[in-house]
Amino acid sequence: MPVKLEMDAGLYERLCPGIRIRPLDGTRDWVRCADLQKEIWGYPDSAEVVPGSFLAITPHIGGLLLGAYAGRNRLVGFAWAVPAFHEGRRTYHSHMLGILPAFRRRNIGWALKMVQRDLALARGIHEIHWTFDPLQSGNARFNLCRLGASVRAYVRDFYGRSDSPLHSAIPTDRFIATWSLTAARVVRYRAQMLAEAPPTGRLPDRWDPVLAAESRRRADRPQRIHLGNEYLFEVPENLEMLKKENLRAARRWQTLLRLACIDFFAKGYRIDRFVEALINGKTRYYYLFRAPTGKEGKVAWLSKCKFRAEPGTS
């Protein structure tokens, strides 16, 4: 029997006026959702699109397929999550979240994720995972600064070759985001958004002198900076532009971030902040890795490979 989703999206719809959030319902919606995937990810053919016939299983398996509707019932975005297991816990894996380009930056993605969170919690699920491209600064900002997700895992070439223009030309390396639904930061960010005082991604002041010294380095290379128990790794402001202008640089950037992540995650570091700094009139973006603390951290430190105090910029 399909499970009906009991939800109240009004709280979040307030922040994206003119939009209604409700579960996708019936063949027409599922087919439209398949078309939407083509529009959002720009797939040239259907091979990578999840078909309506597969989306249809969602209510039967306890999944969450939510749509954002504008005007007279026009589907403009959606979020799809399926039940999963993670380290023995019941979780959701959120496989897709997409908003039509003309409707982006109006809090619709955020509202869909908030409803997804409420529904997961109502079912006793406290954690949702998904993947995202570590080099897409917009997605990083959305996931870390707005939702409060964190990252502890990096997977090389997760999806293999993709024909989406958003994924093309470099391997599909991915972060695995962990969204701990009742974590203090997640609860705080949600409250800040609802109070219309969104959390900022400002870098703590202690980094200012280090960044000032670093600013002399070449602008086309990612900055990698170490301060005490924290580590910054720069992300390109606009990956699509970088891929168009200098594909070699984009590939190099990916390789350097991959190496840093494999090294740091193995030592128990995690990323829960995505920060920005104004350097010589240009805004630059960084992941902030934090050293492990407590028991878990000590085990990671003892059992994993050697620590290089300051991996230099190559």
Ligand X SMILES: CC(C)(COP(=O)(O)OP(=O)(O)OC[C@H]1O[C@@H](n2cnc3c(N)ncnc32)[C@H](O)[C@@H]1OP(=O)(O)O)[C@@H](O)C(=O)NCCC(=O)NCCS
Which residues in 211-240 contact ligand X (CB under 6 A)?
Answer: none
Per CB under 6 A, does 93 bind ligand X? no
CB of 69 to ligand X, least distance (A): 14
How many CA atoms within 13 Å lie on the side-chain side of 268? 18
**Closest to ligand X by CB, 119 or 147:** 147
Which residues on neighbouring strands pair with residue 283, listed in sequence order? Answer: 278
Give the whole-angstrom CA distance, residue 70 versus residue 75: 7
Per CB under 6 A, does 170 bind ligand X? no
Give the whole-angstrom CA distance, residue 138 versus residue 214: 24
Q: Name the segment binding ligand X (CB under 6 A); options: 53-61, 121-129, 133-141, 281-289.
A: 133-141
Residues 5, 65, 108, 271: which binds ligand X (CB under 6 A)? 108
Per CB under 6 A, does 189 bind ligand X? no
**Closest to ligand X by CB, 143 or 178:** 143
Per CB under 6 A, does 12 bind ligand X? no
Q: Name the segment binding ligand X (CB under 6 A); options: 83-91, 100-108, 117-125, 219-227.
A: 100-108
Per CB under 6 A, does 142 bind ligand X? yes
Per CB under 6 A, does 109 bind ligand X? yes
- Residue in the block written with tokens 């009906």: 4
Instruction: Give the C-alpha distances (Å, rounded to integers) separating 296 from 231, 269, 293.
Output: 19, 10, 7
CB of 166 to ligand X, least distance (A): 6
Task: State the burial class of residue 148 (Cβ atoms within 10 Å of its Cβ: 0-12, 13-18, 19+).
Answer: buried
Which SS3 state, helix, strand or coil, does residue 270 take?
Answer: strand
- Residue in the block written with tokens 């380290």: 87
